[in-house]
Structure 1
């Protein structure tokens, strides 16, 4: 369930995996389907999710009101060089925050059968696919910029590859002769 919620949340928000993995329960607003994240560069931003995520998200929280949203499978060590910061431990379960490498490994393993190269996909590819699907659905560059929270429109170019069909459609729609009504 944890992975399903994580992957759905990453796709719905088109957020960076680090932002979602660093979420604490206190930063969630389940009623308004958004969360406060610390984005690249340290700015505080909000990410928003859809109905499917809203239905799944309460399950891994299991009534918790504090601590990391996504927890590791095991309890965190309490001392030594591998002991996480206190803020990265759930005060109720004692489990630590799910790490990026572990989340990436789980996603690659789960997606390997679907990947034509059988290597599995990265968490960052969820961001790519979310933005690409929004672009294919006709969302404008400023809308994609707002969703992805890119500072510059040029940064969206690597995510959005719309292809020949989009180019042909845009050309046909902009053709002045196409707009004239036949007599």
Structure 2
């Protein structure tokens, strides 16, 4: 294609080659391609952009770790929990697909990050935009880079307080057939205790005082009434330690949970907030006037 006379003076051809060479980590070659593209274009704005790309590669020296390897190392840190790894991984995966795993970190620019954000999340909700922005800032701080999200303004989030589920809908939830024991116990406990979802999901079997109908979680007491009291003994039967609410299956070898989040008797891990929320929304979609399903927070009764 490059030998075609029609394309000999077509500036987009060396520009595209330059982008591909950057992704392959061949910065010096990419710099020459951008400079050639700048010479060929007749558009002043395009020429300035292409020369800026070439200067960025020259200034960076295109040395040091590549984006893909750095992202993997960043996500492999022990202090990150599974939810954070998933969230950060989504952001970095989109960035890596856009600019290439082989791009040296020193060559990554705020302009490239801004283009990725506008393409991927320009129309996203403020909460989603801010989550990805926070992930990029955390990655930059860890990698000792300039804040590449500095030009991305944080969007204002508006949160409307969801009303508690009405008594008629609660009756339907409590009496719906086919609901697994784990879900029935979790939903009852959230409603009767009024405690935060994360606090309830953090409960361990050894935290429970079944006689006094209470448990210690996250520095506070969680108490319950007869509805929960009738379900917990069956839920904890045969278990003396480990998370109260467990996943359905044992985790795969690549997703081994921390010891504190694994049941020593069953080897299953603690139920995550995301999974518990999904199951509740799916089970209550037919009862919710919006059709989306209720959230676990809506089980908390009015004060």
Bin for the TM-score computed over the shorter chain: 0.5 to 0.7
1:116 aligns with 2:296: no
**Alpha-carbon distance, 1:76 to partner:** 2.3
8 Å contact from structure 1 (residues 76, 89) kept in 2: no
Give how far 1:59 is off.
1.1
Find the counterpart in structure 1 of residue 184 from structure 2: 4
Match of 1:76 in 2: 251
Select the structure that is richer in helix. 2
Distance across 2 between alignment mates of 1:21 and 1:103: 9
1:1-183 map, 5 Å = 1-38=181-218, 44-77=219-252, 79-80=253-254, 82-127=255-300, 130=301, 132=302, 144=303
Distance (Å, rounded) in 1 between the aligned partners of 2:295 and 2:277: 6
Structure 2 unmatched runs, 5+: 1-180
User: What TM-score do you get using the length of structure 2 for normalisation?
Assistant: 0.40
Aligned length: 123
SS in structure 2 at match of 1:71: coil
Q: Within 2, Cα distance between the matches of 1:51 and 1:125?
A: 20
**TM-score (structure 1 length as normaliser):** 0.65
CA distance in 1, matches of 2:267, 2:278: 22
CA contact (8 A) 1:13 1:47 kept: yes
Runs of 4+ in 1 over 6 A off after TM superposition: none
Which is bigger in relative contact order (C-alpha 8 A, separation at least 6)? Answer: 1
Q: Secondary structure at the match of 2:264?
A: coil
Q: Deviations over 1:58-84 (max 9, x none)?
A: 11112211000000001023x43x221
- Unmatched 5+ residue regions in structure 1? 39-43, 133-143, 145-183
The structure whose Rg is larger is 2
